[in-house]
């Protein structure tokens, strides 16, 4: 028994040594063919530097179009970007002023690394809310209807809770609210170890290439992955993943009293339609639209039905 005990102790020591040292021996080849964000911009692209404590400011890529008393702020989901609003942005701009932006570290916005900041991590949920408000301030927008897809829907609800005076209403498309948002505490702790910090970019390269199942064209898919052509996108994505904690807002649903439209596709295989239906039932002032034969990105997969639901809902708001 003593012999087996010593062998087991040696085995554990070897495993521990591999876990502690092994990641530092794995090669992390540099990214190839990356480009400055401005070289990938289109005719709608604008860039603005948003102040952030402990930095020289962070550059944000955004679209801004339309004019009128009603404002819309469009928030994309995880690993997405402004191009997810390509098919519907013109409609929102026709209804007032529409702004869509790439949340860091996605799309063509800046990708800060730990050496770039000296204060709060800009990838935390708190910082993400602050960025949205700072952008509205910089653009002179006091109040907006916040439109969010997937993880953008969760951020939209955070804005409604933390800054209710800035949110006129909510449009939540397949919102990732009840489950599937953020990293569990244990995963976060592991992601921030020196070992995973070292090889994290390799995992991020896998995450960044995941295609959410949906009925998207080749052009839409190419635009969805535009951010993977920017320098350090893998390192920044790992920093974001490591900093983004899970968030449960269920005990605050009754505080979100703004008019809300929840849109779900009945073929959504990422956020089950039942979760969106449940969310609409628990929010005090929400309407629900279930789109047939539609997946997780309704504004692209079935934009006609999506816009019809939005138009019908907007017609119910005061001032229309």
What is the predicted pLDDT for the residue at 120? 84
Element (H, E) at 136: helix 125-138
Could you say which of 150, 183, 234, 276 is catalytic?
A: 150
Residue 267 falls within a domain, yes or no?
yes
User: In the prediction, which pLDDT does 132 show?
Assistant: 97
Model pLDDT for residues 133-190, shown as the tens digit of each residue:
999 999 999 999 999 999 999 999 999 999 999 999 999 999 999 976 766 776 777 7
Examine the residue annotation and report whether 218 is marked as an active-site residue of this protein: no
Catalytic residue among 80, 234, 268, 276: 268
| 7 lies in some domain | no
| Residue 276 annotated among the catalytic residues of the structure | no
**pLDDT exceeds 50 at position 23:** yes
Residue 170, in any domain of the structure: yes
Residue 67's domain comprises 38-179+249-314
255: in domain:
yes
- Give how far Cα 252 sits from Cα of 77, 132, 207, Å: 22, 20, 31
Average pLDDT of the segment spanning 267-284: 96
The DSSP call for residue 47 is: E
Dump pLDDT digits (tens) for 280-304: 999 999 999 999 999 999 999 999 9
Q: Is the pTM of this model over 0.85?
A: yes
The CATH code of the domain that includes 132 is 3.40.50.1820
Q: Which of 61, 71, 76, 296 is catalytic?
A: 296
Judge whether 296 counts as a catalytic residue: yes
Domain count, the chain: 1
Residue 45 lies in a domain: yes
From residue 137, alpha-carbon distances to 109, 134, 148, 169, 212 in Å are: 18, 5, 19, 18, 33
Q: Please report which confidence band the pLDDT of residue 196 belongs to, taking 50, 70 and 90 as the band edges.
A: confident
pLDDT in tens, 88-100: 999 999 999 999 9
Report pLDDT for 1: 47
Asked if residue 232 belongs to a domain, the reply is no
Is residue 101 situated within a structural domain?
A: yes
Query: Looking at the domain assignment, is residue 233 inside a domain?
Result: no
């Amino acid at each position: 028994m003593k012999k087996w005990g010593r062998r087991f102790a040696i085995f554990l020591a070897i495993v521990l040594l591999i876990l502690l040292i092994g990641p530092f021996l794995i090669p992390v080849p540099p990214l190839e063919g990356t480009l400055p964000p401005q070289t990938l911009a289109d005719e709608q692209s604008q860039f603005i530097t948003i102040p952030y404590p402990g930095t020289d400011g962070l550059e944000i890529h955004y679209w801004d179009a339309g004019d009128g008393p009603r404002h819309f702020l469009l928030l994309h989901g995880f690993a997405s970007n402004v191009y997810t609003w390509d098919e519907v942005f013109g409609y929102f701009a026709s209804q007032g002023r529409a702004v869509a932006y790439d949340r860091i570290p996605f799309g063509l916005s800046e990708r800060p690394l730990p050496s770039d900041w000296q204060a709060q991590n800009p990838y935390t949920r708190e910082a993400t809310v602050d960025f949205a408000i700072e952008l509205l301030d910089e653009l002179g927008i006091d109040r907006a209807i916040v439109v969010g897809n997937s993880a953008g829907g969760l951020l939209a609800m955070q804005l409604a809770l933390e800054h209710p005076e800035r949110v006129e209403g909510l449009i939540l498309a397949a919102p990732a609210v009840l489950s599937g948002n953020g990293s569990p505490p244990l995963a976060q702790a592991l992601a921030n170890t020196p070992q995973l910090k070292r090889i994290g970019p390799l995992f991020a390269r896998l995450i960044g290439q995941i295609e959410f199942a949906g009925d998207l064209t080749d052009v839409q898919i190419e635009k969805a992955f535009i951010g993977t052509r920017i320098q350090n996108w893998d390192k920044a994505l790992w920093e974001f993943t490591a900093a983004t904690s899970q968030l449960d807002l269920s005990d605050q649903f009754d505080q979100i009293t703004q008019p809300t439209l929840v849109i779900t596709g009945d073929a959504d295989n990422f956020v089950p339609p039942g979760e969106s239906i449940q969310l609409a039932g628990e929010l005090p002032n929400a309407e629900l639209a279930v789109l047939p034969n539609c997946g997780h990105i309704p504004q692209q997969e079935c934009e006609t039905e999506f816009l019809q639901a939005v138009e019908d809902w907007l017609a119910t708001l005061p001032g229309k």
